[in-house]
Chain A
Amino acid sequence: MAIDDVTGASPSEIFPSSSDYGEGLLPIPGIDRYAGTGLMFWLWCGGNILLTTFVLGGYYAAALGAVGMIVVTFAGGLIGNLFPSMSGLRSARYGVDEYVGMRSTFGTYGAYVGIFMLVVINFGWVGILSSIAGNSGATVMHAYHFSNFHWYTIFALGCGIVLPVAMLYISPKTVFTLVKFTVPLLILFALLLLWKQLSHFGWHYIAAIKPNHSVSWQYAIEANIAYAVSWFPYMGAWNRFAKSEKGAFWGAWLGLSFIAILFAVVGGIATLTTGSGDPSVWAAKSGLGVPALGIIILSTLINNAMLLYCSTMGIKTAFPKANYHWVVGLVALPSIFFIYEGTLQNNFNTILTVVGALIAPYWGVALGDYFLLRRQRVDLVGLYRGAGGPFWFKRGFNPVAFGVWGVGVLLWLFLGGWTSSVTWLHFNSGEHVFTYLTATAPVIIFCALAYWALGAMGISTIAKSMPAAVEVSKQ
């Protein structure tokens, strides 16, 4: 193939068929993207429709009361979802997967650290979500006297593993089709639950419930932000389908924030009125048991498909020769272990800790690199180059980025370690500072600014990867 072809051919001439787009590592040309702002909105709404989003509001509703819970949920949701919505813009611009783009920050092999975190976390998340679908399905079937059968396994494996894998095996486009029709229904369910609570108890009764101050509003803000930034690893894989950068940003931010706020507020109010933080109790008391099973099944389908696709593309980034369809099938298998081990409640606190301590500073560095240092300009060809390329840094790793990340992890553990169940991470001084700063948001901002400052100081490791240096090296 002659390089002269570059200048003369339009994308559609180069790529006559887009049927396999999203299954490979190469960029998706702008003209061949198919997700507009509305579709991106439904996609990210669907991503955040989870029982855990309901549970989030219940976490602090009793502590803050109805008004405090609503204010904190709005503020935490808007701030928290901003960070992942911004991080996904690199993939929206260049049409590349999250971890192909991440090479520009952490290096060709340094990006594999992000892939490792993604894949490991997904093993747990996919298993936990499948387990919820299994439990809900089995409960409803037993209620209707369809007992003496393996309903847990059927619902957990069927909705959590088999169907999402089948969707992705056909094409990642199937996820967009699914969310377009199902997410409005899921939102209606949440609104129905809210209306039932308000009409039965009345707003004045709900607002008059005294807060018990068991946790602070800072803790509640932190919970919202930590929950939101758990989306960091997933943004790029899906945003590369967006027809425009603005569509990717507003679709993601508004979609994630809207659902985070709606579901957490509904969950918070339900917790206040029922006195229970268990969504199945709210649904049963509202007479919505069977529709609740529907929401759980559909949300499990959407979420597991979204998560498994990100794992698939991450693994393909590390092993480019791997066959997409084989990886889709194999990447879900380890999650089966989690289906039969552990429960959502047992793992939720650990998940939040891992997310806050490792993921937030990793993507904080990436935000500083892309927005502040590179001003949203990355060498596309360099992303696909190995040794000798601009993002090779030192043996494939960017030591400066890893240094800032390490400091960020320590900073998070100091500020937020006391919120975890790991006792040796509890620092009294950190807890005191937390009441002024919280943990996740300041760590993200610190890492972004620190990496930017080091880059602006002209450290040679970073300077060699900057566009000006790349242009010079090409001449």
Chain B
Amino acid sequence: MMSQSGANEVISTGRSDLVDQAVILQFVGKVEPGGEVKLATVLGTVAFSLLVVFGTTAWWMLH
């Protein structure tokens, strides 16, 4: 089996590929750590945060 340092040595093999395809294929399906972040979750959280910031400020200014 090939270690990371060993694999790095085959980078730029002189072919058009930037890394030996046999090396990079070993990573397929093994790189994703899981825990996908949904775009809707991100935008919803930011919208809620801003609502809290401006809402609190408005309430404070009015009182």
Contact = CB atoms under 8 A, between A and B. Distances in A.
Interface of A: 1-3, 5-6, 9-11, 13-18, 20-21, 23-31, 33, 67, 71, 74-75, 78-79, 82, 86, 89, 92-96, 108, 242-247, 249, 320-321, 371, 376, 380-381, 384-389
6 contacts: A2-B22, A3-B22, A14-B1, A26-B27, A75-B54, A243-B33
Nearest to A85: B42
Given A78-B50, A79-B50, A89-B37, A388 B31 contact: no
Given A17-B4, A24-B7, A79 B46 contact: yes
B4 A21 contact: yes
B20 to A, nearest CB: 8
A20 B21 CA distance: 21
Contacts of A384: 17-19, 21, 24
A33 B37 CA distance: 18
B22 to A, nearest CB: 5
Contacts of A2: 22
Contact of A245 (B21, B26, B35, B53): B35
A17 B4 CA distance: 8
Interface in B1-30: 1-5, 7-8, 11-12, 15-19, 21-28, 30
Contact of A385 (B21, B22, B36, B39): B21
Contacts of A93: 31-33, 36
A94 B50 contact: no
A95 B5 CA distance: 16
A78 B49 contact: yes
Given A6-B26, A17-B4, A380-B28, A30 B54 contact: no
Contacts of B8: 23-26, 320
Contacts of B1: 5, 9, 13-16
Interface string B28-63: 101111111101001000100110011001001100
A320 B39 CA distance: 33
Contact of A247 (B32, B35, B54): B35
A29 B17 contact: no
B58 to A, nearest CB: 10
Nearest to A20: B5
Nearest to B58: A71
Contacts of B57: 67, 71
A5 B21 contact: no
The 5 closest A-B pairs by CB, nearest first: A244-B35, A30-B33, A246-B35, A384-B19, A320-B11
A312 to B, nearest CB: 14
B13 to A, nearest CB: 10
A29 B12 contact: no
A57 to B, nearest CB: 16
Q: Which of B12, B26, B46, B57 is most buried by chain A, counting CB atoms within 10 A of its CB?
A: B26
A95 B32 CA distance: 7
A71 B54 contact: yes
Nearest to B27: A27
Given A6-B26, A24-B11, A384-B21, 5 more contacts: A20-B5, A75-B54, A249-B37, A320-B8, A380-B27
A321 B2 CA distance: 17
A9 B26 contact: yes
Given A25-B19, A30-B34, A93-B33, A249 B50 contact: no
Nearest to A17: B3
Contact of B30 (A30, A75, A386): A30
Given A17-B4, A78-B53, A30 B26 contact: no
A108 B27 CA distance: 20
